[in-house]
Structure 1
């Protein structure tokens, strides 16, 4: 069912949420655009302006690492200023109410945690850009520390102070292995829910995009909230193609 208007879509979504015992949100970049964070694939998105740097290139080339960190620092003000939007706050309200055991997200912006969802219950399939890790020993580094070293060395990305391997934002790059623990937890949540909310995702990035269909195959209802059509719309029980913030605003609570 594709909602013909926002009101009927919100009413049907409310009915589905009320009758569900265990709701698992699956979120993509669209939930964060009202927070000032641009998405990747839409017209004007980040990837229309610059191609992502693959993991093997990052590892092999100091120049690639320099460019990757230059891009990340250029986005620091955007990420630093972002605050949870209505979509994040609505999901946090459902989490506090005990309806949401965890949020599966493709996002890297930390906004679900900032909205009040416990960090242990935010399953980050693509990592987190608000801090960095050594790709060798996994030592954690804060972004500001990396930036200070980068600028002091004339735009050269620093190496790990412990093992001298490259330092990278704690995100999953193209060509990099998906995090096993996150994938396992996402699988378990998808198999155990009775309603999955796919919000703000184009549902084209695999293997992450497989979780809504996994939930559906295991008997869950599926609602897709995304301004653009997705390849999974014909499998959904409800499709809402209206603004995410407006759609979820009635569920924010007090």
Structure 2
């Protein structure tokens, strides 16, 4: 499906008149006051790989540690080929060698993931739009119906030949061994591809239907851990109504992004856009403290991590028993 920003804006009938509730101050405290005032009833989060790095999962573009910086051994025509559907169809092996870096079997959600979960517990999370395939939102306990996995996930996979569906458990062993999973049907020897979106593939239909359904309702957009450089996901940032506050939490902000996704951080009449540069976990903790949710956030993290550790321990025991 082609993604045309102007036609989608027209379809959403985005208002040109700013709604009530612009920020008192265009900083993190202004966002906190906006949430505390009760004006944020339908919060959308848009997240990228940067919120998972503290869980041990590398992002794509960081120098030295990013996935694209560590692909020399695979003799690829270019680093992005490992996620190209055309290259995958010719040679899937490099992807499954790299996939181990994207899946850490005992990784726990980060504080940023739990902040999204807390938004849901407070009854104000409309939807979480994620570029990540690591499933940490699910592990954090965010309800599945609140998550739009724009780039798919490892949650399940399909044979590229016969389209037989396979659960993640079928894929997991091969990913950890860096092997190519094959269809188990006797009449088929197709590769089982995880349901993640490769370059050259369309985004899932639920992404587009979700955008049309959710963004007209959005009254606060929180963007975390993304450089806003991948189309069409980055375009959703510009689909909120005029006057709706937008918070970008990221280690850096590339000014060239302004040409793609207009945000108004340095404009004198800016009343809506806030840039919080830094680690997503640290910023989320600061924001939670400003709202008065710090104890709730830390308790949520502690309780869920303890549950996950018990689950992981059971999995380890089963693995050793095999």
Partner of 1:240: 276
Stretches (4+) displaced over 6 A: 149-152
Counterpart pick for 1:70 among 91, 97, 112: 97
Structural mapping, 1:130-209, within 5 Å: 130-146=155-171, 155=179, 157-159=181-183, 161=185, 164-209=189-234
Specify the alignment match of 2:57 in structure 1. 37
Residue 49 of structure 1 deviates from its aligned partner by 1.8
Partner of 2:33: 15
Counterparts of 2:235 and 2:109, CA distance in 1: 26
Long gaps (5+) in structure 2: 1-25, 72-78, 266-271, 300-322
Contact conserved, 2:153 with 2:194, CA < 8 A, in 1?
Answer: yes
Give how far 1:102 is off. Answer: 1.3
Distance between the aligned counterparts of 2:173 and 2:53, measured in 1?
29
Please tell me whether the aligned partners of residues 146 and 158 of structure 1 are also in contact (alpha carbons under 8 angstroms): no
**TM-score in terms of structure 1 length:** 0.83
Q: Which runs of 5+ in 1 are unaligned?
A: 1-7
Of residues 211, 220, 239, the one that matches 1:214 is 239
CA distance in 2, matches of 1:150, 1:130: 13
Query: SS of the counterpart of 1:82?
Result: coil
Q: 1:48 deviation in Å?
A: 1.7
Two-structure CA RMSD over aligned residues (Å): 2.7
Alignment partner of 1:228 is 2:255: no
Residues paired across the two proteins, number:
240
Shift of 1:190: 2.1
The Cα offsets for residues 107-137 of structure 1, whole Å up to 9 and x where unpaired, read as 1111111111111211000010244222355
Larger radius of gyration: 2
Correspondence 1:46 to 2:67: yes
Distance change >3 Å, CA 127–CA 151, structure 1 → 2: closer
